[in-house]
Amino acid sequence: MLRQEQNDLLTQTGPGTPAGRLFRSYWIPALLVEELPSNDCPPVRVKLLSERLVAFRDTNGRLGLMDEFCAHRGISLWFGRNEDCGLRCPYHGWKYDVTGQCTDIPSEPENSTFPKRVKLTSYPLVERGGVLWTYLGPADKQPPLPEYEFATVPAAQSFVSKRTQECNWLQAMEGGIDSSHVSFLHRGDINSDPLFKGARGNQYNLGDLRPVFEVVESPGGLYIGARRNAEGGNYYWRITQWVAPSFTMIAPRGGHSVHGHFWIPIDDEHCWTWNFDYHPTRPLKDEELEAMRAGKGIHAKVIPGTFRPVANKDNDYLMDREAQRAGRTYSGIEGFAMQDQSLQESMGPIVDRTKETLVATDSGIIMARQRLLHAVKALMEEDTTPPGVELEHQKVRSAAIVLPPDQAFKDGAKDAMRVQPGVAPATV
């Protein structure tokens, strides 16, 4: 459990908050490339870390992310006209370029210098791996562009989706590093989902419902190992990577693609769940892509034109009690993604962690919270760069591997847990 002030510290990420400053130390995913598909396409509203912004791609293809509201009288620039290298407010014609610099105020005399003195807050927006990334921190501390492997492999090897989640980022992220729920909540899907089934390792999952967990501090966050008995007295390890503040990569199964997530605060009661699937050494197959687009695996089917899942709180997540009773799903909710999201949203917009009763198998979650609290404290008191900012912290892989019983997985899986270009992932 956390004290109230600790819970507040980690769940509040708006401007001026300590965890907000933490998130503003990193490049974070903001949009999918397809949301700004062409030059002069319509602008898009973006809300991140409780800041309302607007994104657009100008006439020359440059990307902009800036204050949503016109400096004049506060009109939303979502209504703006994207033309001639800028976004023009339709109310009085004030125009801004991709850096937020006002370039024209029609009511001013022709050679007026006043427009030069008007600039909207703006943030860099760059494309990498099918994602448009932004950095909302101070310009003088901007880190190098992210190097997570899914974003650096060729486009044919990676698929990214996102969806809105109607709860705080932290309770969503904690679900991603909580290995102990898989044998229950997702029991019905491990051997049926096309992006999970068929792996030899699945039999260890289903044969051993009480894995032993090992949580090891890593340079960027944590390695979370789940250990099950394998043949010959060996251990089958599934090692999840958690890189601060909210990146996870789950251990692969068989020859399937490798997947993981980011959870990015929209505001304190909503977040983006980003989902990636990639393979380090081969293109994704047509049937894999089809399954991902259909909402299989960690992806979810969304309402067309939105990023809201089809199964959501407004339709009770399409709960099927018959499927629950028959054992086709454990909770009555279909699909990995919404099985997690429905329960995480049920905790309330910001779960009250003063009311928890944690057990030993929650140590991964406990350690992640403490890593974050330590990182926030060090950042606020000593301006220490948080874990996960350095590029080497991002060049990691998850792993599924069989090891002898007396070997530390940090040692035995050392090579498997770092990016090795051209080398297939460690999987069972």
State how far the Cα of 382 lies from the Cα of 376, in Å rounded to an integer: 10
Residue 103 vs 370, nearer CB to other proteins: 370
Q: What is the 3-state secondary structure (H, E, C) of the chain?
A: CCCHHHHHHHHCCCCCCHHHHHHCCCEEEEEEHHHCCCCCCCCEEEEECCEEEEEEECCCCCEEEEECECCCCCCEHHHCEECCCCEECCCCCCEECCCCEEEECCCCCCCCCHHHHCECCEECEEEECCEEEEECCCHHHCCCCCCCHHHCCCHHHEEEEEEEECCCHHHHHHHHCCHHHHHHHCCCCCCCCCCCCCCCHHHHHHHCCCCEEEEEECCCEEEEEEEEECHHHCEEEEEEEEECCCEEECCCCCCCCEEEEEEEEEECCEEEEEEEEECCCCCCCHHHHHHHHCCCCCCCCECCCCCCECCCHHHHHHCCHHHHHHCCCCCCCCCHHHHHHHHHHHCCCCCCHHHCCCCHHHHHHHHHHHHHHHHHHHHHHHCCCCCCCCHHHHCECCEEEEECCCCCHHHHCCCCCECCCCCCCCCC
Q: Does 366 bind other proteins (CB under 8 A)?
A: yes
Q: Does 410 bind other proteins (CB under 8 A)?
A: yes
> Least separation, in Å, of the C-beta of 314 and other proteins?
5
Q: Does 298 bind other proteins (CB under 8 A)?
A: no
Residue 65 vs 367, nearer CB to other proteins: 367
> Least separation, in Å, of the C-beta of 35 and other proteins?
26
> Least separation, in Å, of the C-beta of 367 and other proteins?
6
> Least separation, in Å, of the C-beta of 421 and other proteins?
24
- The single residue among 108, 322, 352, 392 that binds other proteins, judged by CB under 8 A, is 352
Residue 99 vs 229, nearer CB to other proteins: 229
- Count of CB atoms within 10 A of residue 232's CB? 8
- Count of CB atoms within 10 A of residue 244's CB? 23
Query: In the Cβ-directed half-sphere of 172, how many Cα atoms lie within 13 Å?
Result: 32
Helix 169-176 with 363-382: angle, nearest 10 deg: 130
> Least separation, in Å, of the C-beta of 11 and other proteins?
12
> Least separation, in Å, of the C-beta of 359 and other proteins?
8
Q: Does 350 bind other proteins (CB under 8 A)?
A: yes
Binding mask 155-194 for other proteins (x = CB under 8 A): -----------xx---------------------------
> Least separation, in Å, of the C-beta of 91 and other proteins?
33
φ, ψ (nearest 5 deg) of residue 91: -80, -55
> Least separation, in Å, of the C-beta of 83 and other proteins?
40
- The single residue among 35, 104, 208, 356 that binds other proteins, judged by CB under 8 A, is 356
> Least separation, in Å, of the C-beta of 368 and other proteins?
11
Q: Does 139 bind other proteins (CB under 8 A)?
A: no
Q: Does 367 bind other proteins (CB under 8 A)?
A: yes
The stretch among 12-20, 103-111, 248-256, 315-323 that binds other proteins (CB under 8 A) is 315-323
State how far the Cα of 333 lies from the Cα of 341, in Å rounded to an integer: 10
Of residues 318-347, those binding other proteins (CB under 8 A): 342, 345-346
Of residues 188-227, those binding other proteins (CB under 8 A): 212-217
Q: Does 1 bind other proteins (CB under 8 A)?
A: yes
> Least separation, in Å, of the C-beta of 218 and other proteins?
10
> Least separation, in Å, of the C-beta of 28 and other proteins?
24
**Total of chain residues touching other proteins, rule CB under 8 A:** 45
Residue 64 vs 387, nearer CB to other proteins: 387
- The single residue among 84, 108, 287, 316 that binds other proteins, judged by CB under 8 A, is 316
- The single residue among 200, 374, 395, 418 that binds other proteins, judged by CB under 8 A, is 374
Residues forming contacts to other proteins in the complex (CB under 8 A) are: 1-2, 166-167, 212-217, 269, 313-317, 342, 345-346, 348-350, 352, 355-363, 366-367, 369-370, 373-374, 405-408, 410-411, 414
